[in-house]
Structure formats: C-alpha cells, structure tokens
Amino acid sequence: MSLLVRSHAPDADGTVLEVTPESAGWTYVGFRVLNLAAGEAYAGLEVGREACLVVLTGRIAVDAAGESFDGLGVRDSVFDGAATSVYLPAGTSYAIRAERNAEVAVCTAPGTGGGKPRVIRSDAVEVRGQGTNTRHVRNILSDTDEAESLLVVEVITPGGHWSSYPPHKHDRDAFPEETFLEETYYHRLSPPQGFAFQRVYTDERDIDETMAVEDGDCVMVPRGYHPVGAPHGYDLYYLNVMAGPRRNWVFRNDPAHDWIVRR
C-alpha cells in the first residue's frame, strides 16, 4: 500500500481527502479535509475520538455541545498567517457551516471525553533550524496543551529548504528516550502547481518510499524517518497530525545524519 493519499473532487458532504485508522492500517490518527462552499454545512460525530477542526482557509461557524462559535478563520491561503481551530472532546456532535468558501481539516484521535469545546488561535511562530534547514512552526495542539491524544502542528518550509530534517522518527514506545506516534502530513504548495519530496524509511528499510507530493496530497507515516524537501521557487506548507499511546513528542534523529545538528 502506498503511503501517498491524493485529494479528489468533493463528495456529497464536502470530503476531498480522508485517512481513517482502517484505511491506514493503524490505530490512532484520523484525518479528513472538507471543501465547503459558502452556505454549505457538514455535520459530524466522532464516537470515542476527540477532534480538532483546523480552518485551513475561509471562514466558518461551529455549533458543538451547546456552544456556538462564529466568524472562525481569517486566511485566504494557508500561507497567510495563523490558523484558527476548534477543539472538541471525544463524542461531541458538531456542525460546521461555511460563512464563505472554506477548507477545513478534521483531525481525530482516541479519547474518552471530558472538558468543553474551545477555540484555539495559534499566533506564536517558532523558527527551527538554520540556513536551508530553516522552517516556521505554529503549534495548534502541542504536548503541553489540554487534550487526550491529539498533537497538531503546521509548518511552512521556504522554497529550497528542508524540513523534518535531519531525518527523525518517533516509532518506539520507549519514553523518555522516544515515543510512538503515528503521523499524517497534509501538503499545500505556493504557487500551487509546484511539488515537493518526502521520503519515509526505517532503519531496516522494510519501509522505504520516496514520493513527489503535490498540492493537496497527504502522506501517512506509520513509522520510520520522514524528511521533506521543498524545491527552489515553491514554498511548502504542511499540517501534521500525530497520536499514539502516550501524548509526548519525543523523537530520535537518524544516527547517520545526526552530525548535521551536532557540528
């Protein structure tokens, strides 16, 4: 099975891409992208799963658990600043209404419920790396934020730069040395006709797949290292969703390339 999942024309409910634990052959991460025209609505219920609704572009309203949130989203492009998101405890039924054309990511992971829906505005930007390894990170749900399983983050990698680099992995449940986290990468490019490259590989090379990703593609990372490269002229955005048996992000660099950050 390929680790690359491509977007398609909207289904009747607006879904253009979906990864489920069943389709991925794993346990924790679920990911869906909705394209909703102004006035269209989507109703959801994630049984036994918490959710984070990330407004990628456009503006929406969300009704959930007796709470109403209007005017969510300020971006015309995922490259136009911070995302607005809504956290939903497990088992919360919800309705999304597009106040104008909108693209929304629905990120899910196992949960038992508790707490209330809340709006998340991810204004802080962390610059990681240096030189052509520089990228710009906005945490939406970090491992210090309130949630049960979900970790959600968005990253912009300038054209000609590398990201998730040196290659790192988080596929051993061996805290505090490393944690096991499944992961999806949802890619967007500017200009949109561009492409980027992502490799997913393990030490044993039982997984070793290199993909040319295009605008709207998703890459599944069940385990292994997973670096990304953005060609000159094309900025790369990706939205990461991670979840596993422990809600901590502790990774291990590929020893063959760890010298890059230790020199």
Write a three-state SS string for 228-259.
EECCCCCEEEEEEEEECCCCCCCCEECCCCCH
Is the pLDDT at 263 greater than 80, yes or no?
no
Is the pLDDT at 63 greater than 80, yes or no?
yes
Is the pLDDT at 123 greater than 90, yes or no?
no
What pLDDT is stored for residue 15 in this prediction? 98
The Cα 133–Cα 188 span in angstroms is 19
% of the chain with per-residue pLDDT over 90: 97
Residue type, 212: A
pTM score, two decimals?
0.97
The mean of the pLDDT values for the chain is 97
Contact 217, 227 (CB under 8 A): no
Is the pLDDT at 55 greater than 90, yes or no?
yes
Q: Which domains does the chain have, with CATH numbers?
A: 9-262 (2.60.120.10)
Is the pLDDT at 1 greater than 80, yes or no?
no
The Cα 113–Cα 75 span in angstroms is 30
pLDDT band at 262 (very low <50, low <70, confident <90, very high): confident
Is the pLDDT at 209 greater than 90, yes or no?
yes
Determine the average pLDDT of the residues in 2-22. Answer: 97
What pLDDT is stored for residue 122 in this prediction? 86
Determine the average pLDDT of the residues in 201-217. Answer: 98
Is the pLDDT at 114 greater than 90, yes or no?
no
Determine the average pLDDT of the residues in 167-186. Answer: 98
What pLDDT is stored for residue 135 in this prediction? 97
Strands 135-141 and 126-128: antiparallel
Strand ranges in 111-227 using DSSP code E only, listed in sequence order? 118-121, 126-128, 135-141, 151-157, 162-163, 168-169, 171-174, 178-180, 182-190, 195-201, 208-214, 218-221
The token pair at 90 is 């497990």
